[in-house]
Amino acid sequence: MTLPIARRDVIAGAAALALVRPARAAADPVVTAPAGRWRGTTEAGVQVFRGIRYGIDPTRFRFHAVTAPAPVRDTLAATDFAPSCPQRANIDNQNEDCLFLNIWTPDARRGGNRPVMVYLHGGAYMNGTVVDPLVHGHRLAADGDVVVVTVNHRLNALGYLYLARLNPRFPDSGNVGQRDQLLALHWIRTNIAHFGGDPSRVMLFGQSGGGAKIGTLMAMPDAHGLFHAAATMSGQQVTASGPLNATRRAQAFLARLKATPAEAVTLPVARLIDALSAEDPILGGGVYMGPVLDMRSLTRHPFWPDAHPLGRSIPLILGNTREETRAFIAPPPDLSWDNLASRIAPQLRVDAPPEWIVAQYRTQFPAMTPHDILYRATTAGRSWPGQVIEAEARAAAGAPTWVYQLDYSSPVRPGGGAAHTDDIPLVFGTLDAAGSVSGTGPAARALSARMMAAFVSLARNGHPARDWPRHTLPRRATMVFDTTSRVVDDPRRWERELFARFPYIQPGT
């Protein structure tokens, strides 16, 4: 069954959002809160505070959870982004001292009681940053009348190297990146009212690895009560790393580093980043690091054997794009029916015969080309199964869940399609930012307004829209975001059932 979205709802939502843009302030804003005092800037009518410290410098506490800094009485400049966590990605200004957040608010005064939307970046647990212009919060804060917060935290070996079984001095080392996020959420609960936010309406949203981090936080007892709604965009965490496999990865990393856990504490951080090229003993390729079932921070898997009871009351949007793998797989110029199966095989995250998969797609969709099947099959067998498992588990538990599928085809990317990360600028409204492939035409602007309104409604009201049904079984209602958005029941049923016959194992677990 397909239900069209009324045009008047889209127009009314967009018009309502446009009315809340604040006027430009006459002077730079200054906020005094329990944690300190900061001077920000006013840009395009939004008050912006960059580089606010929420955790002490972790350099001297490597592989340990850290605490909040002591309150500062002096007025600190909050005008520039702080460093991002050291990583192998080509990102400027990297430093181990990276526990900072950024705030965009229509009006930084107490009493605003605006919903707070906290963004966690992608890049798996290995790379990424929130200084990327795609995730700057000017437009979302202004159009949605919300407070937007973006958070950097420790990554890779600095945030997820599990050493507890190798040296008892480091009991939390496998999850300190997650504990950084908890620290940021505590800072938000204590201070965000002074920036015009409502600490009782905090929504997390994140793309790819950011969504996986949120799935993990929903299973962490220490996160209970720190946020009240969530949205994951092409990022799921069905299971965490088991402690034995995580230990094997730590051993491979330390062998490459040529150091013991105690010695790794004081080595130059560049040495640690270089050692990330160690081969993963389970998956092959570069060593994986992510949250660990350490029985301290995380005491059971987020979505195994079912949806974690801690997260069932949290309203949740689960989203994916129609052809996620267009972002990972360049169009092979020599792709043909003869080599399609061999190209698909290394991309699948289920142990299925690729020749059989290709034959099934050719029978079901005879008009598809090899390139069509390459992206459809690898998405359905790699990037989508985790979301299906989470959506089914929450539906079975009666948890408030809404599912979307982005079908909007990029007018900029060669070959078009709806790929991994394409929903980021649509949700943030950063259509013209570097890296966006959404285009800036009327269709992109209308879709962005629709998606922003849905996310803002979840933060404000606990649901994304009155015309977006919950995801329940067996209906599986799904919002298909496109130039004409609509609700479709079980839109990829054939592909879902095809891959459901093969067990899915979360990579890195």
Give 27's pLDDT tier (boundaries 50, 70, 90). Answer: confident
Which regions of 380-481 does DSSP assign to beta strands (E)? 401-406, 477-481
What integer pLDDT is reported at residue 9 of this predicted model?
37
Q: One-letter amino acid identity for 300?
A: R
Question: What is the average per-residue pLDDT within 89-106?
Answer: 97
Average pLDDT score, the chain: 94
Residue listed under structure tokens 């015969």: 353
What integer pLDDT is reported at residue 508 of this predicted model?
77
Q: One-letter amino acid identity for 76?
A: L
Distance CA 137, CA 141 (A): 6
Asked if pLDDT for residue 420 goes beyond 60, the answer is yes
What integer pLDDT is reported at residue 26 of this predicted model?
53
What integer pLDDT is reported at residue 18 of this predicted model?
39
CA angle 226, 114, 462 (to 5 degrees): 60
Return phi, psi of residue 94, to 5°: -100, 140
Asked if pLDDT for residue 13 goes beyond 60, the answer is no
Pairing type for strands 41-43 and 46-53 reads antiparallel
- Contacts of 330 by beta carbon, 8 Å cutoff, 6+ apart: none
| Number of separate helices (H) and strands (E) present in the chain | 15, 15
Asked if pLDDT for residue 277 goes beyond 80, the answer is yes
Question: What is the average per-residue pLDDT within 15-37?
Answer: 67
Pairing type for strands 486-489 and 2-4 reads antiparallel
Is there a contact between 140 and 452 (Cβ–Cβ < 8 Å)?
yes
- Contacts of 393 by beta carbon, 8 Å cutoff, 6+ apart: 303, 306, 307
Q: One-letter amino acid identity for 490?
A: D
Could you read off the pLDDT of 138-195 as tens digits, one per residue?
999 999 999 999 999 999 999 999 999 999 999 999 999 999 999 999 999 999 999 9
SS3 state of residue 290: coil
Could you read off the pLDDT of 347-375 as tens digits, one per residue?
999 999 999 999 999 999 999 999 999 99
Q: H or E segment at 458?
A: helix 442-461
Bigger pLDDT: 7 or 113? Answer: 113
Could you read off the pLDDT of 205-252 as tens digits, one per residue?
999 999 999 999 999 999 999 999 999 999 999 999 999 999 999 999
Return phi, psi of residue 488, to 5°: -125, 135
Return phi, psi of residue 233, to 5°: -115, 100
SS3 state of residue 439: coil
- Residue 41: closest CA among 32, 51, 33, 50: 50
Q: Which two tokens stand for residue 351?
A: 């142990």
